[in-house]
Amino acid sequence: MSNYVIDQPARVSLPVRGSDARFPVRRIYCIGRNYADHAIEMGHDPNKEAPFFFQKNAENVDTSGSFPYPPQTNDVHHEMEMVVALKSGGANISEADALQHVYGYGLGLDMTRRDLQGEAKKTGRPWEIGKAFERSAPMSELVPVSQCGHLDKGRIALKINGKERQVGDLNQMIWKVPEMISYLSRFYDIAAGDLIMSGTPAGVGPVVKGDVMAGEIEGLGSFTVTVV
Ligand code: MN
């Protein structure tokens, strides 16, 4: 018997390659403008900015392979990203120690209601309405570090209906994985179950119903999400 006054909400989790066990999700930290070419395409100078993060909700994770076109928008964009999954955490973690906290890596899409995000930017309001909506974080299974090692270089790309739209290399990240973990841990108690979406290369753009988004990251493989 539980001692909750309502039914306990289900715990969100991700599948793990080669295992029946699942990875429970706590928080999702997302870095903005982490590839210079993408910062430039969004109208920013990549050289002048400290890193910044926003969050999605664990409940926004979706592994169904479908992305329902969301309400209240006419401009939903794809952002193909590498997902970093943490097995432990803490505060004030050094860059040298940061990778010890990584459980594994996966593929993810930071789906964005760009029109609503643009309004929020213009009016100085929070980004949640553009970023943290239902099923806005399609993800693949996680690949444990024991299988894929640590990924600091390699192709990251997204095709839509077979046509390449986004392409970059993990080595183009302005803030590397150990730097992101260390930076976040100065502001938050990061912990087991946390995910970091590590930013998107250039080439973001809109999707429409029926589009098939196929993401790939060298060393992890690929995943496919259909807009429905
Ligand atoms: Mn993003």
Q: Where are the domains of the chain?
A: 14-227
Mean of per-residue pLDDT scores for the chain:
96
Please tell me the distance between residue 3's alpha carbon and the centre of ligand 1 in angstroms: 38
- pTM for this model (two decimals): 0.96
pLDDT 10s digits, 45-90: 877 678 999 999 999 999 999 999 999 999 999 999 999 999 999 9
Q: Residue 40: pLDDT above 90?
A: no
User: What gap in Å lies between CA 17 and CA 149, rounded to an integer?
Assistant: 14
pLDDT value at 16 more than 90: yes
43 C-alpha to ligand 1 centroid (Å): 15
Question: What is the share, in percent, of the chain residues with pLDDT greater than 70?
Answer: 99
| Ligand 1 centroid distance, CA of 92 (Å) | 24
* Three-state secondary-structure class, residue 220: coil
Question: How many other CB atoms are found less than 10 A from the CB of residue 216?
Answer: 19
Residue 212 has pLDDT above 90, yes or no: yes
pLDDT one-digit tens code per residue, 94-133: 999 999 999 999 999 999 999 999 999 999 999 999 999 9
Residue 227: is its pLDDT beyond 80?
yes
Reported confidence tier of residue 1, pLDDT bands at 50, 70, 90 = low
The beta-strand segments (E) located in 39-79 are 53-56, 61-62, 66-67, 76-78
Q: How far is the CA of 95 from the centre of ligand 1 (A)?
A: 22
CA of 200 to the centre of ligand 1 (A): 5
Q: Ligand 1 center to residue 85 CA distance, Å?
A: 16
Give the distance (Å) from ligand 1 centre to CA of residue 197.
7
User: By the 8 A CB rule, do 159 and 165 touch?
Assistant: yes
Matching CATH number, 14-227, of 3.40.630.10, 3.40.1280.10, 3.90.850.10, 3.40.50.300? 3.90.850.10
> Cα of 116 to ligand 1 centre, how many Å?
15
Q: Output the CA 93–ligand 1 centroid distance in Å.
A: 23
